[in-house]
Structure 1
Amino acid sequence: MALKRVFYEEWQMGCCGEPFSVGDEIRWPLVAFGEGRPRDGGHHGAEAWVENHGDTTHPTTGRVRAIDLVHQEFTVDL
């Protein structure tokens, strides 16, 4: 089975995501980077992201092997 790193944005989970844990089988609608969103380095090595608001007719099924928490802060230059 191939491994794929997936970026799941907080707002996608907060809007319509289902809670998950390591070991859970999931069915997520994934979009590969390069299909509507450039791979700009801001997604921590992910190959795809979860898109709950697009075509959800062909979700990807897999098993969660690990979870990496990403924390981001912004600063304002005055």
Structure 2
Amino acid sequence: MDVPHEINLLVQEIQRLGSKNADGQTSVKFGVLFSDDRCANIFEALVGTLKAAKKRKVINFQGELLLQGVHDNVDIILLQE
């Protein structure tokens, strides 16, 4: 798995699906990202890609691990456009 490439794809998908928040940063709900057909086809392990991107400070979200259903309303915030 090419992690930098996966993170780059993730950034593109967040920009496509997200909107600007009050701070001018692009954000998207985890549920929107998880349930998107295009994302499902791109990412074999979306949660793993999110964790890797958070570790590299490309995105931020509350908590350590996001689970479908439970965390659908958690905002994923893009830190680097």
TM-score by length of 2: 0.28
Which of structures 1 and 2 has the larger relative contact order (alpha carbons within 8 angstroms, sep 6+)? Answer: 1
